[in-house]
Amino acid sequence: MDIVERFLSYVAFDTQSSEESGTTPSTEKQWKLAEFLKDELTRLGLQDVYLDDKAYLYATLPANTDKQVPTIGFISHIDTSPDCSGANIEPRIVKNYDGKDIVLSEGIVSSPAKFPELLDHVGEDLIVTNGKTLLGADDKAGIAEIVTACEWLMAHPEVKHGAIRIAFNPDEEIGMGAHHFDVERFGCEFGYTMDGGEVGEIEFENFNAASAKFAITGCSVHPGYAKDKMINAGRVAAEIVGMLPELETPEHTEQYEGFFHLTGISGNCEKADLSFIIRDHSRAIFEERKARVRKIAEAMNKKYGEGTVSLQLNDQYYNMREQIEPVMHVIDIAKQAIEEAGMEPKIKAIRGGTDGAQLSFKSLPCPNIFAGGINFHGPFEFVPVQSLHKAMQTVVNICRITEEKLGKA
């Protein structure tokens, strides 16, 4: 099947995950694509096709070489972001993009004036939305690239490779994708998530991440008689926000700069809640940021009375760099694969996280490679057809280069 046709068949499934759910997968609708993929992989002739009870799908492309080659893996996620609807997606292909505004639908325009990255793809064929949903290239592009690469390798037995494992998991977009990933079943020496953006990108650094939730209990008294009695939980919440550095927020930071991000605020005089995420590439500064949040909670309780503020602080994931650096040949193979597919490798740090970050701390070194999609999580998302092909070729090249470089007779 053509990679574009395959990709479009996947985006027809609404697989939006949900942060409000306590189940895995977080939404029942993710099962539909997982089951579709299970049938497709079985039909293509992959082996050990297994869909577990949490919608994690695994399969094997057997080795076709006499060499002893490390088993490697490729991973993508089936869910799409809760930030934007993934239902009833209406994709279309803009042929030979001319660098001008793209009218997605009446009154909705994707313009290079706002999205200059469009200009990097003049002359290419862009798959876009109708401006009312996301596209789902994050990460159905990655799935299409992996499946198409496996199909291509089966049709070209002259290209030698070791055993290749693939896995497609739910709930990456809500930070849960690696939580139930069976690394032992996967059985790989190293792997790659196909979940990056622009062509040529390789990512093996990401944020260290934590969540911080403040629960504030006030003392509600009639405002006419409140002197020296009232503790206004809403005002305490505002005070806490003001104690964090104004310029260390997402809208004021870039590259390796970390931040405190207020993701939720609610309350009244009696009760209030604050939710933050804390991010930094440096583990040391990350720990300092967490310590700062703890000190704020302590200061508030000292000022307003013990029990006024409670803090729930939880680590979410860590920078995979410390796990990748001892096995940098994994990056060298990816760089060579990208070069041989006609691109310049672009090493960059992720201002976020990936399933690969969590998997790397589960003894599966797992950097992230581009899948080609751009402007994820919104209605202006697009993916160039040419990028789908380049990513697929990168997967093929990694399989071949691994056999050539690491295979032992």
CATH of the domain at 330: 3.40.630.10
Q: What is the pLDDT of residue 20?
A: 86
Task: Taking the CA atoms of 89, 383, 379 and 196 in sequence, report the sign of the dihedral they define.
Answer: positive
Residue 171's Cβ-side half-sphere holds a number of Cα atoms within 13 Å equal to: 23
Same domain? 46 vs 148: yes
Same domain? 253 vs 308: yes
Same domain? 255 vs 397: no
Beta-strand pair 72-77/164-169: parallel
**How does DSSP classify residue 372?**
-
Choosing from 299, 316, 333, the residue where a domain stops is 316
Q: What are phi and psi of 205, to 5 degrees?
A: -130, 140
Residues 372 and 311 sit within 8 Å (Cβ to Cβ)? no
Same domain? 76 vs 178: yes
Where in the sequence is the domain holding 252, given as residue range(s)?
Answer: 208-316
CA pair distance 296, 102, nearest whole angstrom: 48
Residues of the chain predicted below pLDDT 70: none
Q: What is the pLDDT of residue 22?
A: 87
Same domain? 67 vs 48: yes
- Helices 385-406 & 3-11 angle (0-180, nearest 10): 110
Q: Is residue 325 helix, strand or coil?
A: helix
CATH number at residue 229: 3.30.70.360
Residue tagged active-site, from 40, 172, 203, 403:
172
CA pair distance 16, 28, nearest whole angstrom: 10
Residues 148 and 8 sit within 8 Å (Cβ to Cβ)? no
Same domain? 175 vs 285: no
CA pair distance 258, 277, nearest whole angstrom: 11
* Contacts (Cβ under 8 Å, ≥6 apart) of 147: 6, 37, 40, 41, 44, 166
Give catalytic status of residue 79 as yes or no. Answer: yes
Same domain? 300 vs 160: no
Q: What is the pLDDT of residue 333?
A: 98
Same domain? 113 vs 259: no
Q: Which residues of 343-360 are buried (b: 16+ CB within 10 A; e: fewer)?
A: bebbebebbebbbbbbbb
**97 to 93, 126, 389: CA distances (angstroms):** 9, 7, 17
Q: What are phi and psi of 367, to 5 degrees?
A: -70, 170
Q: What are phi and psi of 368, to 5 degrees?
A: -110, 140
The three-point CA angle 185-186-192 to 5° equals: 160
Q: Where are the beta strands (DSSP E) in 164-304?
A: 164-169, 190-196, 201-205, 208-217, 259-267, 271-280
Same domain? 23 vs 105: yes
Choosing from 260, 286, 316, the residue where a domain stops is 316
Q: Which residues of 123-142 are buried (b: 16+ CB within 10 A; e: fewer)?
A: eebbbbbbbebbbbbbbbbb
Q: Where are the beta strands (DSSP E) in 19-158?
A: 47-51, 57-61, 72-77, 92-94, 102-105, 108-110, 126-128
Element (H, E) at 309: strand 309-317
H helices, E strands: number in the chain? 10, 17
Choosing from 316, 334, 366, the residue where a domain stops is 316
Q: What are phi and psi of 3, to 5 degrees?
A: -65, -35
Using one digit for the tens of pLDDT, what is the confidence trace for 244-275?
A: 999 999 999 999 999 999 999 999 999 999 99
Same domain? 297 vs 334: no
Same domain? 124 vs 201: yes
Residue tagged active-site, from 14, 40, 79, 355:
79
Number of structural domains (the chain) is 2
Same domain? 38 vs 9: yes
Task: Taking the CA atoms of 83, 369, 122 and 92 in sequence, report the sign of the dihedral they define.
Answer: negative
Q: What is the pLDDT of residue 361?
A: 93
Structure tokens at 293: 């949040």
Using one digit for the tens of pLDDT, what is the confidence trace for 177-222?
A: 999 999 999 999 999 999 988 999 999 999 999 999 999 999 999 9
* Contacts (Cβ under 8 Å, ≥6 apart) of 372: 137, 141, 145, 197, 198, 199, 383, 384, 387, 388, 390, 391
